[in-house]
């Protein structure tokens, strides 16, 4: 898996991109590239798009009905993100905005000072209804996930006490010191390498409303120091009393996670378990097959993007007939000249 496209829905709302001269120029360039590819006349300006214009006008009229994406366009944008953000404050009634996506904030991806956390914190009062925030929706063409420099996100939680959903992409520089938040229901951390300090900080936090936790582990080569042992407090089932959905995704030790989960008290509380994008092999799948009572309680088990053989997939379906089982995207490991194989998660660099 790679992040080639922007999300079209966030927090249950359709995504609308805040229009700037740069995003409009980008849209024109893509139309021109498509026309050139099809050997059609290449337009020199954007043609009227009544449907898109009407949708944008409706979003401006009811800013809480959509999730707003705010971003710079690499190689086009010349203004700093601060100016783009100021324009957003001027043109959109942010007092009614409920969901915000912060995408690419510039080419200074190696500069922690460029992360717009402090800008969001400074203007938190302009977003009294904000319930969902995605910090770092950066596409692969803009920066590899391991290049996205992040920050300490605890000040965001402090600044937005009513926040219910927080998603963060990028593990370099990411910090999540133990904190408390009464409203947060969903936490997603997408990385190509999850530091142990981030994991332990999350698990040490007081999050009584947390229903969904999703961690993307990645690989050691890109900063992953979190181990299965570090998840012991979570697997013991005593953290996060409202937890019903758990994603332990993009791991290079998915088989080990399955072994730990088979006897884990937390599994008895879950309705959804997501082990996708990782390195599940027939060995790990047989643990699930041979422990049906542990996994049969689940409503949904997502294993997509795995390394399973067809016979073992059939065995899983037979063992868990009442579980919504996602076994899509079977993937072959990388094979080297000496015959060795590398089972790697979907998102690394």
- pLDDT, average across residues 14-39: 90
190 phi and psi angles, rounded to 5 deg:
-100, 120
- pLDDT, average across residues 231-258: 97
Within a 13 Å sphere around the CA of 221, how many CA atoms are in the beta-carbon half? 7
pLDDT band at 31 (very low <50, low <70, confident <90, very high): confident
Greater pLDDT, 51 or 244 = 244
Is the confidence at residue 54, as pLDDT, over 60? yes
Percentage of the chain surpassing pLDDT 90? 79
Which pLDDT score, from 0 to 100, does residue 117 have? Answer: 96
Q: Which of 230, 251, 234 is nearest to 243 (CA)?
A: 234
Within a 13 Å sphere around the CA of 275, how many CA atoms are in the beta-carbon half? 27
Is the confidence at residue 313, as pLDDT, over 80? yes
Q: Which of 308, 251, 241 is nearest to 274 (CA)?
A: 251
Q: How many CB atoms lie within 10 A of CB 7?
A: 14
- pLDDT, average across residues 152-161: 97
Which pLDDT score, from 0 to 100, does residue 108 have? Answer: 55
Q: Which helix (H) or strand (E) holds 165?
A: strand 165-169
> How deeply is 140 buried, as exposed, middle or buried, from its count of CB atoms within 10 A (0-12, 13-18, 19+)?
middle
Percentage of the chain surpassing pLDDT 70? 97
User: Are 161 and 129 a contacting pair, CB within 8 Å?
Assistant: no
Greater pLDDT, 143 or 323 = 323
Q: Which two tokens stand for residue 103?
A: 């995408």
Is the confidence at residue 160, as pLDDT, over 90? yes
Which pLDDT score, from 0 to 100, does residue 2 have? Answer: 59
- pLDDT, average across residues 287-303: 96
pLDDT tens by residue, 325-339: 999 999 988 877 776
- pLDDT, average across residues 142-155: 93
- pLDDT, average across residues 247-275: 97
- pLDDT, average across residues 36-52: 88
Q: Which two tokens stand for residue 279?
A: 């390195």
Name beta bridge partners: 119: none
Give the SS3 label for residue 230: helix
CA distance 320 to 296: 6
What structural domains does the chain harbor? 9-279 (3.80.10.10)
Average pLDDT for the chain: 93
Within a 13 Å sphere around the CA of 2, how many CA atoms are in the beta-carbon half? 8
Q: Which of 152, 142, 133 is nearest to 105 (CA)?
A: 142
Token pair 């783009």 is at which residue? 84
| One-character DSSP codes across 254-294 | HHHHHHHHHT-GGGGG-SEEE-TTS--BHHHHHHHHH-HHH
CA distance 106 to 74: 7
Is the confidence at residue 112, as pLDDT, over 80? no
Q: What contacts 24+ positions apart, CB below 8 Å, involve 194-199?
A: 194/218, 194/223, 194/224, 194/225, 194/226, 195/171, 195/223, 195/224, 195/225, 195/226, 196/225, 196/226, 196/227, 196/230, 197/225, 198/171, 198/174, 198/226, 199/226, 199/230, 199/231
Is the confidence at residue 110, as pLDDT, over 70? no
Lowest mean pLDDT among 3-12, 26-35, 163-172: 26-35
> How deeply is 16 buried, as exposed, middle or buried, from its count of CB atoms within 10 A (0-12, 13-18, 19+)?
buried
């Amino acid at each position: 898996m790679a992040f080639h496209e922007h999300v079209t829905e966030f927090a249950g709302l359709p995504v609308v991109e805040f229009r700037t001269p740069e995003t409009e120029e980008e849209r024109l360039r893509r139309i021109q590239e498509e026309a050139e590819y099809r050997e059609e006349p290449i337009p020199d300006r954007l043609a009227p798009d009544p449907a898109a214009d009407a949708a944008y006008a409706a979003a401006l009229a009811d800013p809480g009905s959509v999730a707003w994406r705010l971003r710079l366009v690499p190689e086009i944008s010349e203004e700093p993100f601060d100016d783009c953000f100021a324009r957003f404050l001027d043109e959109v009634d942010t007092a009614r905005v409920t969901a915000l996506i912060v995408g690419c904030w510039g080419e200074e991806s190696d500069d922690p000072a460029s992360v717009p956390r402090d800008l969001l914190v400074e203007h938190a009062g302009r977003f009294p209804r904000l319930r969902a925030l995605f910090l770092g929706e950066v596409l692969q063409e803009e920066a590899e996930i391991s290049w996205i420099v992040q920050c300490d996100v605890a000040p965001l939680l402090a600044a937005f006490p009513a926040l219910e959903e927080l998603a963060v992409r990028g593990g370099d520089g990411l910090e999540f010191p133990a904190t408390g938040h009464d409203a947060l229901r969903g936490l997603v951390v997408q990385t190509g390498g999850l530091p142990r300090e981030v994991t332990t900080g999350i698990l040490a936090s007081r999050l009584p409303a947390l229903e969904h936790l999703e961690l993307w582990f990645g690989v050691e080569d890109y900063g992953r120091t979190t181990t299965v042992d570090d998840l012991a407090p979570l697997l013991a089932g005593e953290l996060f009393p409202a937890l019903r959905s758990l994603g332990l995704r993009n791991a290079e030790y998915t088989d080990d996670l399955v072994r730990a989960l088979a006897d884990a008290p937390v599994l008895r509380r879950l309705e959804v378990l997501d082990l996708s994008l990782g390195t599940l092999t027939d060995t790990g799948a047989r643990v699930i097959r041979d422990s049906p009572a542990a996994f049969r309680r689940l409503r949904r088990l997502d294993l997509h993007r795995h390394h399973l053989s067809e016979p073992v997939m059939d065995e899983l379906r037979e063992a868990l007939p009442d579980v919504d089982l996602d076994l899509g995207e079977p993937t072959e490991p990388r094979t080297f000249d000496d015959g060795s194989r590398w089972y790697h998660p979907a998102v690394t660099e």
